[in-house]
Structure 1
Amino acid sequence: MTTVLMGYAPMDAVHGEFEALVASALACPDDELHAALLRVHEHLLAHFGQEDRWMRETGFPAADCHIEEHGNVLKSADEVLPLVAAGRHDVGRSFAAELRNWFPGHADYLDSALAAWLCKRQYGGKPVVLHPRRNPG
C-alpha cells in the first residue's frame, strides 16, 4: 500500500500507521491474525475518534457522512473480530483486504476535504503535497 498523503501532517501520520497495520495483518501467519486485527481495531478507534473530534470541534460541513462511514467500518470490525477468534482466518484476511481497498477512496473523497478544511482554518490555505517526479519512459 502506498501512503496516501493529505498535506495535513497529523492526518498523514495516522494514515501511514493505518496502512502499516493493515499490511501487517495481511502478511502475518494465521496464528497471529487475531492479534494483528485487534491492533488494527485499536488504531481505528483512535484514528476515527481523532478525525471525528476534528470535525465536531471545527464545524466541518460534511461531518455526518464522514462520521457515519467511520461507524460502518468499526461495526464491521466488531463483527469480524469474534469470527477470527473462532478460527475464521479467511474472514479476517478478507476484512483486511477490504480495508486496504477501501482506504484510498475514503481518503480521496472524505479525508482530503477534511484536510483542506483543517489547513484552511489553521494556515489560511489549502494543503500542498509534493510527489517525486515520475519518469515518463
Structure 2
Amino acid sequence: MPALEWSEALSLDLPLMDDTHREFVDLLAAFDSADDSARLDAWRALIDHTQVHFDQEDRWMRETRFAAGNCHSVQHKVVLQVMREGLKRAEAGEPEILSMMSGELAMWFPQHAQSMDAGLALHLRRVGHDPLSGVVAHPDALPRDEISGCGSAACTPHDEAQSSAA
C-alpha cells in the first residue's frame, strides 16, 4: 500500500488544484510500487509533474498579488531542489535515498495541502480567480498589497483579517 493515498481530506474544492494534487499522489504511489528498474523513471516523472504543479500554483499567486518571494513559493523551490538532489544521488549509486524521500513527501504533502494550499484556494475563490485564463472576477477583492507570507489564513494581512472578522 502506498504511503499516501488520495482522500477527500486533501480536496480543496478547486477542481484544477485538486486534479493536480491527485496526480501528485498517484505519481508518488507509482514510484512506491515501481520495481527497481523503473524507479528512476518514476521519480523523474514525479519531478516533471511537480515542476508543472508548483509553476501553476506560483503563477496563480502572482496573478492574485501573492509576492514572488512568499514562503509558499519558497517551499516549492526547496522541495523541487531536494527532489532533484535525490535523483542525482540515486543516479550516482544511492537509490535507497529515493525511498526515504518518498516517505518524507508522503508526510509533507498533506500538511502543505491542508495549510498553504488551502489558504491559497480560499484566496483564489474569494477573488474569483479563473485558473485557466488567469482572469480575476472580483478585482476589488484583491489585497491592496502583495501577500508576503505563506498564503494561509495565518498569513492574511492584518487589516484584511480584522475586516473579515467583523
TM range (shorter): 0.7 to 0.9
8 A contact 1:21–1:39 mirrored in 2: yes
Question: Contact conserved, 1:6 with 1:112, CA < 8 A, in 2?
Answer: yes
In structure 2, stretches of 5+ residues that fail to align are 129-136, 139-166
TM-score w.r.t. the length of structure 1 is: 0.84
Query: 2-side partners of 1:60 and 1:80: how far apart?
Result: 29
Q: 2:107 aligns with which of 82, 101, 106?
A: 101
Query: What residue number does 1:54 align with?
Result: 60
**Aligned match for 1:2, one of 1, 6, 30:** 6
Alignment coverage as a number of residue pairs: 124
Q: Under a length normalisation based on structure 2, what TM-score does the superposition of the two structures give?
A: 0.70
Q: Is the 8 A contact 2:20 2:53 kept in 1?
A: yes
Residue 9 of structure 2 is aligned to residue 17 of structure 1: no
The alignment's C-alpha RMSD in Å is 1.7
- How much identity, in percent, do the aligned residues show? 35
Give the Cα separation in 1 of the matches to 2:87 and 2:22: 22
**Segments ≥4 residues shifted beyond 6 Å:** none
Give unpaired runs (5+ residues) of structure 1.
125-137
Q: Is the 8 A contact 1:44 1:74 kept in 2?
A: yes
Greater relative contact order, per chain length (Cα 8 Å cut-off, separation 6+): 1
Greater share of helix? 1
Is the Cα contact below 8 Å between 1:52 and 1:63 reproduced in 2? no
